[in-house]
Amino acid sequence: MSQHHADHLVQAVNVTKSFGPNKVLEGIDLDVDAGEVVCLLGPSGSGKTTFLRLINQLETLTGGRIWVGGELVGFEERNGKLHTRTDADVARQRSRIGMVFQRFNLFPHMTALENVTEAPVHVKGVSRRVARKQALELLDLVGLGDRARFYPSQLSGGQQQRVAIARALAMKPELMLFDEPTSALDPELVGEVLAVMRDLAAEGTTMIVVTHEMAFAREVADRVVFMDQGGVVEQGAPDAVLLNPREERTRTFLRRVKQEAESEAQHDIELATLLKSFES
């Protein structure tokens, strides 16, 4: 049973999730291979974030199965019966997956450096000296080598998110999950976080990214998955899905995103004209 699931790093089969009577996911099938970058797109409420949280067991499955690295997530199959995994086993599974949150969730009582060394030292049992050296390298990687001793409250949103990425990478995860990593950022700070993610993708990190950044998805993703109302509507190469969508729902969504972007651009132009009229 479990053999063919090792072919993909992540394999989700018929995944469903309900919160009470509220069905959020209705039968998601999705495979992600090692080294692949997959962007999940779709309107809010489509279930993208819930799906991501299911992979890391921040929510429990209602139905279906998810395998990560050939191992069933959250459950163990013995004699044809599913057994819930122990707290320690769940923790072990999570430690192989890195996660970056929309609202960063850095530990505010620790410096940037301590945030990054926390899990290697206290989960993996890496020595403090080695963890510190690796953490400083990771902070350099995300361009924050000089901010190691700063507390999160002393960093900008973009810097905090980059520390959060370094913190997740410190566990050397097989898979990185990004849950709308730039949605809580001021527009001028989005670029620095996307740049770090672009580097990670170029290095061959396996990434599943929930995002609203269409340009990023088009440029970086190997595959984009469009979700709506708890299901996968269509998926494929970025250009295929974003430029020539097969499904009407995808077209509607992309049209709306485009209109919003245009009206924003229009707004910017009007503002610029207005400012120019003041100058003269």
Partner 1 sequence: MASNDERPGLIDAVPVRHYGRWAAVAAIVVLLLMLFNMLIFNPVFNWPFVLEVMNQAPVIEGLLKGTLLVTALTMIVGVLGGVLLAVMRLSDNPVLSWVSWAYTWFFRSIPRIVLLTIMGAGMGLIFRDGLSLGVPFDWKIIEWLGLSGDWRFLTLDANTLFSGFAGAVIGLGASEAAYMAEIARAGILSVDKGQTEAAQALGMSRAKAMRRVVLPQAMRVIVPPTGNETVAMMKDTSLLIALPLTAELFYQVGAIGSRTYQILPSYLAAVVYYLLITSVLMVGQSYLERHFGRGFGATVTSDKAIAEPGLMAGSAH
Q: Could you give the angle at the alpha carbon of 76 between the alpha carbons of 73 and 81, nearest 5°?
A: 130
Contact 214, 207 (CB under 8 A): no
> Distance (Å, rounded) from C-alpha 33 to C-alpha 263?
37
Q: Which is nearer to partner 1, 99 or 233 (CB)?
A: 99
Give the nearer residue to partner 1 in terms of CB position, either 3 or 153. 153
Shortest CB 147 distance to partner 1, Å: 10
CB of 32 to partner 1, least distance (A): 18
| Least distance (Å) between residue 57 CB and partner 1 | 8
Q: Closer to partner 1 by CB, 111 or 134: give it.
A: 111
Closest contact distance (angstroms) between CB of 114 and partner 1 is: 6
Task: Kindly list the residues in this chain that would bind partner 1 in the complex (CB under 8 A).
Answer: 56, 58, 87-88, 91-92, 94-99, 101, 103, 105-111, 113-114, 118-119, 122-124, 128, 149-154, 164, 167-168, 171
SS3 31: strand
113/224 with CB nearer partner 1? 113
Q: To which residue do tokens 């088009």 refer?
A: 218
**HEC profile for 40-63?**
EECCCCCCHHHHHHHHCCCCCCCE
Alpha-carbon distance of 228 to 249, in angstroms, equals 8
d(CA 169, CA 41): 24
Q: Least Å distance between CB 218 and partner 1?
A: 28
Judged by CB, which is closer to partner 1: 65, or 167? 167
Phi, psi dihedrals of residue 127, rounded to the nearest 5°: -65, 150
